[in-house]
């Protein structure tokens, strides 16, 4: 009989201290997420120094909670998975230092995981039998990338943002609209009352055939519109602005994801990252992909935003491949997932 493999996974790359116990890469025995959002909210974004300090305070308790919810002990753990980049270096170092100490103490492998590889694996947690090849659209506060996965563990970059990430565009505009942090969920909520056809904000399609993105022009255009209204003392409608912004972001993301899937002749597009929680993006993608007989899948909301379960799933497959990390592993704030 095969013994189960239990990975204890740690994620501290931004403002969530999260620890999970994942069995065989598919069973979430626990996934504890301690969010710092309430603390960073008043600054309008994540303050790196505060994030590191809060991770340090929270992590030992989050580990205990994750083990206790999983009804497990360190002796049941076969490997320690940890996100070591990209992200805020101080924040990453807290999780990584804990992971190294734990791996050393229990004499089990340390498995460093790329944060985006984690986001993609949220899809494999939700759909363990998901087949390759596929294209993943990874959209978060720090990343907007189209990734081709010919097989497990192989990642080819097809396109990425040249400036702001999609989540960043949501967050920055939301801040100017006074909607608070993080902006994506607030924009989505406000957009429900708005008319998405009223304000047609620009879409940056870039060069023909390019699968890259650019959202800084869109962000400036929305902010210009807002400033002009204010200067002319004209009324503006926040729900309409939110709906117009969400539409412009969703349109470009969904269109390019379908072009990428067609180019690579894959039957499936996997959505990943915090922005994958956006309902209008899902709807647009499903509509555009459906016309080409391409399937679209996304993880449940709790697995879209930062969490340790996704890191544990990615770590499990690395464990099976024997891809272990050395205890000298360092945090890499701009870590790349791609070899070429
Ligand atoms: O993946 P994530 O938790 O952290 C990063 O790795 O960046 O993503 C956070 C981002 C934020 O920019 C947030 O505004 C955005 O995801 N987000 C959303 C939604 N929920 C979270 N954006 C649009 N619609 C949502 N429902
Ligand atoms: Zn993330």
% of the chain residues with pLDDT over 90: 93
Q: Do 140 and 16 contact (CB within 8 A), yes or no?
A: no
Closest approach atom of ligand 1 to CA 115: 6
- Is the peptide bond between 288 and the residue preceding it cis, with omega within 30 degrees of 0? no
118 contacts 106 by C-beta, under 8 angstroms: no
Cβ within 8 Å of residue 288, ≥6 positions away: 254, 255, 257, 258
Confidence bin at 115 (pLDDT 50/70/90)? very high
Locus of tokens 């945090």: 331
Sheet holding 268-272, edge to edge: 156-160, 144-149, 134-139, 268-272, 295-297
Ligand 1 centre from 109 Cα, in Å?
A: 31
Q: Which of 82, 99, 67, 80 has the alpha carbon at shortest distance from 5?
A: 80
Task: Give the pLDDT confidence of 127-186 residue by residue, as tens digits.
Answer: 999 999 999 999 999 999 999 999 999 999 999 999 999 999 999 999 999 998 889 999
Give me the pLDDT at residue 281, please: 98
Average pLDDT over residues 107-116: 98
Tell me the average pLDDT across 6-19.
96
Query: Which tens digits make up the pLDDT trace of 41-57?
Result: 888 888 999 999 999 99
Q: Which ligand is nearest to the CA of 46?
A: 1
What is the arithmetic mean of pLDDT over 315-336?
97
Helix (H, G, I), strand (E, B) or coil at 27: strand
Is the minimum distance from the CB of 7 to ligand 1 under 6 angstroms?
no
Does residue 188 have its Cβ closer than 6 Å to ligand 1? yes
Any atom of ligand 1 within 6 Å of the Cβ of 90? no
For the chain, give the percent of residues with pLDDT over 70.
99
Q: Please list the residues that pair with 88 across neighbouring strands.
A: none
For residue 18, pLDDT beyond 80: yes
Note the maximum CA span of the chain.
74
* Residue ranges in the chain assigned as alpha helix (H): 37-41, 48-69, 89-106, 115-126, 166-176, 183-191, 216-231, 238-263, 279-290, 301-304, 308-321
Average pLDDT on 94-119 reads 98
The reported pLDDT for the residue numbered 46 is: 87
Residue 274 CA to ligand 1 centre (angstroms): 3
250 lines ligand 1 (CB under 6 A): no
Q: Please tell me the residue having the least CA distance from ligand 1 atom 3.
A: 305
Q: What is the pLDDT of residue 42?
A: 85
- The arithmetic mean of pLDDT across residues 72-82, rounded, is 98
pLDDT, position 300: 95
Q: Is the CB–ligand 1 distance for residue 142 below 6 Å? A: yes
Model pLDDT for residues 248-303, shown as the tens digit of each residue:
999 999 999 999 999 999 999 999 999 999 999 999 999 999 999 999 999 999 99
Is residue 123 within 8 A of residue 299, CB to CB? The reply is yes
User: How is 251-307 classified by DSSP, letter by letter?
Assistant: HHHHHHHHHHHHHTT-SEEEEESGGGG-HHHHHHHHHHHHTTT-EEE---HHHHSS-
112 C-beta closer than 6 A to ligand 1? no
Query: Rounded CA gap, 338 and 340, in Å?
Result: 6
Is a pLDDT exceeding 80 seen at residue 2?
Answer: no
pLDDT score recorded for residue 45: 82
Give the ligand whose atoms come closest to the C-alpha of residue 275: 1
Are 279 and 188 in contact by the 8 Å Cβ rule? The answer is yes
Closest listed ligand to the CA of 141? 1
How many residues make up the chain in this entry?
Answer: 340
Instruction: Determine the pLDDT at residue 86.
Output: 96
Of 328 and 40, the structure prediction assigns the larger pLDDT to: 328
Tell me which DSSP letter residue 87 carries.
Answer: S
pLDDT(1) > 60: no
Query: Ligand 1 center to residue 267 CA distance, Å?
Result: 26
pLDDT of residue 197: 96
- Mean per-residue pLDDT, 13-33: 97
Going by C-alpha positions, the residue among 128, 120, 129, 102 that lies closest to residue 9 is 102
- Measured in Å, residue 143 CA sits from the centre of ligand 1 at 10
Q: Confirm or reject: Cβ of 15 under 6 Å from ligand 1.
A: no
CB-proximal residues (5 Å) to ion ligand 2: 140, 306
Residue 240 CA to ligand 1 centre (angstroms)? 20
């Amino acid at each position: 009989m095969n013994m189960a493999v239990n990975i204890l996974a740690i994620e501290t790359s931004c403002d969530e201290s999260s620890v999970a116990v994942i069995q065989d890469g598919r069973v979430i025995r626990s996934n504890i997420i301690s969010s710092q959002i309430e603390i960073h909210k008043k600054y309008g974004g994540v303050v790196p120094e505060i994030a590191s300090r809060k991770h340090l305070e929270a992590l030992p308790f989050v580990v205990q909670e994750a083990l206790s919810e999983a009804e497990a002990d360190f002796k049941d753990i076969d490997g320690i998975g940890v996100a070591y980049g990209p992200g805020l270096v101080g924040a990453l170092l807290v999780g990584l230092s804990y992971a190294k100490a734990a791996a050393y103490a229990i004499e089990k492998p340390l498995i460093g995981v790329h944060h985006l590889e984690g986001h993609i694996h949220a899809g494999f947690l939700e759909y363990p039998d998901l087949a390759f090849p596929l294209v993943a659209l990874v959209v978060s506060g720090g990343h907007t990338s189209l990734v081709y996965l010919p097989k497990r563990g192989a990642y080819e970059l097809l396109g990425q943002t040249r400036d702001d990430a999609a989540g960043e565009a949501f967050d920055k505009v939301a801040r100017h609209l006074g909607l608070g942090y993080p902006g994506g969920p607030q924009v989505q909520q406000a957009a429900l009352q708005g008319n998405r056809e009223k304000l047609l904000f620009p879409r940056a399609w870039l060069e023909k055939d390019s699968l890259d993105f650019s959202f800084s022009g869109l962000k400036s255009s929305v902010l210009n519109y807002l400033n002009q209204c204010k200067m002319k003392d004209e009324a503006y409608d926040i729900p309409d602005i939110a709906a117009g912004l969400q539409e412009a972001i969703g349109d470009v993301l969904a269109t390019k994801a379908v072009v990428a899937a067609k180019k690579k002749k894959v039957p499936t597009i996997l959505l990943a990252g915090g922005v994958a929680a956006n309902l209008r993006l899902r709807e647009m993608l499903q509509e555009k992909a459906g016309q080409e007989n391409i399937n679209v899948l996304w993880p449940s909301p709790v697995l879209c935003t930062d969490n340790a379960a996704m890191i544990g799933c990615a770590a499990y497959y690395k464990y099976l491949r024997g891809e272990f990390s050395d205890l000298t592993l360092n945090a890499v704030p701009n870590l790349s997932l791609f070899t070429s």
